[in-house]
Amino acid sequence: MAKCVNCGLTTSTRGHIEFKDGSAICEPCFTQLGFRPTEAAKMKNYSFFDIKDGAEAFDKKFVK
Cα–Cα distance measured from residue 26 to residue 10, given in angstroms and rounded to the nearest whole number: 8
Distance CA 9, CA 58 (A): 23
Contact 28, 4 (CB under 8 A): no
Distance CA 43, CA 36 (A): 11
Q: Is 3 helix (H, G, I), strand (E, B) or coil?
A: strand
Q: What pTM did the predictor assign?
A: 0.89
User: Which class for 40: exposed (0-12), middle (13-18), buried (19 or more C-beta within 10 A)?
Assistant: middle
- Give residue 47's pLDDT: 94
The pLDDT tens digits of the residues spanning 20-62 come to 999 999 999 999 999 998 999 999 999 999 999 999 999 999 8
- pLDDT value for 62: 87
